[in-house]
Amino acid sequence: MRRLIIAWLGILALVMPLQLMTSAKAQEAPTRWKTIEEGGVRYHIIVRGDTLWDISEHYFGNPFDWPKLWQWNARILNPHWIYPGNKIRLTPFPMKVEEEKVAPPPPPPPPAAPVEEAPPPPEKYFLAIGNYGSFISPVPVVPGGYIQRGVQRKPYLGDKDYVYLSQETGIGLETGSIVYAYSQPEPLYHPISRKFIGYMINLLGRIAIHDFREGFYEGYIEEAYKEIPLKTPVGAFSIPDAKIKIREKAPFIEGTIIATGNEKTELSENDLVFLDRGSANGLELGHVLSIIHEGDIIQKFPKGDSAQLPSRNIGKLIIVGSMEKTSTAIIMESDEPVHPGYSFASQVD
């Protein structure tokens, strides 16, 4: 029995140191391979017993990589002498830190192209000629004077003739003024309704007065629109400029051509006409209107009942003068002869 106890004591004496050594190594293991990172570089903290060989084997899996550690750590002068507490660099360059890639903002859209408004259409003008200044007066016009005779004895006067004028009313004639010779026929009536319209003042020519001597004004006929007979009345009238801006868009209006400015029975381009609508109806200088030929009344075959043919647009006219209830116009174009009594209307797009 005594021998058995002695044998067990011997075994314990051998086992106890081994357990103490294992416990010490277990306590040492967690702290030996300690690393830190500074500025993106990983370091090993040297402890007692470390060699570059062991460190290379632990971190790189190959002890023969120890020269890399010596190369990366320039302050180690002798690879066999490293000291506890110092740092061993484990990477040659700072570790790359993956930064979250943020997509750049999309470029701003290009500036919108400036919206250019279409330029307005070029302005168009109509040049009126002749006696376009004629008009319809609601009352008779009192003459400012009369043409008594030409300087040369003639029954009719024309362009460039010199004339003698007398002033009968005490107003209307003066040196340096412009007067117009005109005719004033009988009262004018509507060709359809037969209502009284007024008095047509039909201009015959333009006269410049340049002198006054011994009770007579001396004048010079600058332009004669027709032959001017002696004893013709003259007056000072406000005549619109001959260059008239064309205005295609007239207010909606319908009416009748009531008279012509000459003795022609069939009218065409550039002939003067008078209308039964004026400024009170919205007509202004330059408005362009359509000429309408109302359809004829026929007896339909074979029964003989009456019917009207369709109306036709046969031309255009332009307003060259506008009174309150009547207007003066010139035929701009026509596809067939135009007659007083024909209709007119605003143009339709």
Q: Between the CA atoms of 263, 266, 271 and 275, what dihedral angle is there, to the nearest 10 degrees?
A: 90
Mean pLDDT score, 216-227: 95
Place of tokens 């408004």: 117
Per residue in 237-259, pLDDT (tens digit) is 999 999 999 988 888 999 999 99
Per residue in 11-50, pLDDT (tens digit) is 555 545 445 444 444 444 446 788 888 877 888 888 888 8
Per residue in 153-185, pLDDT (tens digit) is 999 999 999 999 998 776 778 999 999 999 988
- 98, pLDDT greater than 90: no
Burial string for 151-189 (b: 16+ CB within 10 Å, else e) reads: eeeeeebeeebebbbebeeeebbeeeeebbbbbbeeebe
Q: Does 246-346 carry CATH code 2.40.10?
A: yes
Structural domain spans, the chain: 29-94, 130-235, 246-346
Per residue in 120-137, pLDDT (tens digit) is 888 899 999 889 999 999
Looking at residue 301, its amino acid is F
Residue pair 223/205 in contact (Cβ under 8 Å)? The answer is yes
CATH number belonging to domain 29-94: 3.10.350.10
CB-neighbour burial class of residue 51 (10 A; exposed 0-12, middle 13-18, buried 19+): middle
Q: Return the pLDDT at 297.
A: 86
pTM as predicted: 0.64
